[in-house]
Structure 1
């Protein structure tokens, strides 16, 4: 299909090289199934993951993939790069050429990355309206103080973009380590927020997205498919 979703008659006409008027007869003869159910409506929408068959011959049977990756420092969140290894290079996945990245991490940031071929799922996950929380462990060069907590909760004004960041939660774990929870992801946001205190970030690790935690059994650079429960429950 040219687009992610299409009317059934348009899809069949394109795939079978027949006129749309002939498709009405095919449906009347119960020859077409969508996701295992006999299709009756030529205006029914099919998408990239619909299972479509005619006379038991499968025309379309793509499957969604959802992958968790433990990104190491020094790997770029890109599909191609001339200088650095990419997250795609790390994958051992039969459909890795079809996957796209859901929420990038900087070169020097490690931790949980998600990849998928399901555009609707990734758009929902990254939409500001979904308010999906991302949690990071941050290591700072200089000691922390309680004033950071209030500042992060109030948000920071970024003059370059003319925006004020949404409220973020900061929890002090030790003198030089904090955990930060965001519901957005502006450019170098965490580093820039700590930059207001002239406190350089020397380590940044994302350990969760929504309800999904980075699998502790995944070595750096390792990846695995998400379970059905993980895919559905990530939004909470």
Structure 2
């Protein structure tokens, strides 16, 4: 759900039956409307889907924003429903889980950090390539990795089918068969396809961070928790 902004007077006239703009101005002048617990008097005040709005103590809107971290296991699909596989929504123990959407998917055989929310503007800030939010992965390969990989990832790779060149990516060697990869985009099977240029199959792909949000080491695969305000505030 998007948190698209609206003017307070427009919201009130659209929400309360028979209430015109003149009546709205009177209500505000009388201090009968509150937004997020504060008396509202400006007709031009901006409100959105998550603003808590009351009239004479009666709640008109009380939508809550939710930001959830899930440790996605392998074999679970990043979708809200699927006819063949268990979905990440099935894993959640959350009262509003069916209102959530996925922020940057992981494929069936990948694991690690997956974020879900009902705040469309928040998810857009994380996934829009223009914002260049870093996604960090730990990758296990079938064959040894050499120093040549580092420069190839840093230069970007051209994929003729889509006629695109990937943005520079950072590759750090952990050992001969394990690396850390940091991307600022997330094209279809990008990491696997980049290692495919070296004919080196990916055996395991595990996302550990999106921007400043890191996978909680205390979360077992399949478990989830709400993000703290310090985590979701970008």
Output the TM-score relative to the length of structure 1: 0.94
In the other structure, the counterpart of 1:153 is: 154
1:94 maps to: 95
Structure 1 Cα separation of the partners of residues 76 and 63 of structure 2: 29
1:28-39 alignment, distance < 5 Å: 28-39=29-40
Q: 1-side partners of 2:16 and 2:7: how far apart?
A: 14
Q: Distance in 1 between matches of 2:159 and 2:139?
A: 20
1:108 and 1:2, CA in 2 relative to 1: closer, same or farther beyond 3 A?
Answer: closer
Cα deviation, residue 2, structure 1: 10
Partners of 1:223 and 1:170 in 2: CA distance: 28
- Number of paired residues? 233
Q: Compute the RMSD of aligned alpha carbons.
A: 1.6
Partner of 2:6: 6
* Residue 136, structure 1, aligned to residue 133, structure 2: no
Q: Secondary structure at the match of 1:174?
A: coil
Secondary structure of the residue aligned to 1:208 is strand
Residue of structure 1 equivalent to 2:117: 116
Residue 192 of structure 1: aligned partner: 193
CA gap 1:98/1:221 in 2 versus in 1, 3 angstroms: same
Shift of 1:23: 1.1
Return structure 1 stretches of 4+ with deviation > 6 angstroms. none
Alignment match, 2:207 = 206
> Which stretch shifts more, 129-138 or 185-194?
129-138
* Mapping of residues 15-54 of structure 1, within 5 Å: 15-18=15-18, 19-54=20-55
Aligned equivalents of 2:210, 2:59: Cα separation in 1: 36
The alpha-carbon deviation at position 194 of structure 1 amounts to 0.3
Closer, same or farther in 2 for the Cα pair 1:2/1:181, shift >3 Å?
A: closer
Distance (Å, rounded) in 2 between the aligned partners of 1:82 and 1:127: 29
Which residue of structure 1 lines up, in the alignment, with residue 175 of structure 2?
A: 174
CA gap of 1:190–1:155, structure 2 versus 1, over 3 A, is same
Partners of 2:104 and 2:127 within 8 A in 1 = yes
Deviations along 1:97-137, one digit per CA (max 9) or x if unpaired, are 11110000011100000001111111111122321111111
For the residue of structure 2 that corresponds to 1:63, the secondary structure is: coil
Distance in structure 2 (CA, Å) of the matches to 1:63 and 1:186: 31
2:128: which partner in 1? 127
Stretches of structure 1 lacking an aligned partner (at least 5 in a row): none
2-side partners of 1:185 and 1:207: how far apart? Answer: 14
Relative to the length of structure 2, the TM-score reads: 0.95
Q: 1:216 to 1:53 in 2, by over 3 A?
A: same
Deviation at 1:170, TM superposition (A): 0.7
Against the structure 1 CA distance between its residues 137 and 93, is the aligned structure 2 distance closer, same or farther, given a 3 Å change threshold? same
Gaps of 5+ in 2: none
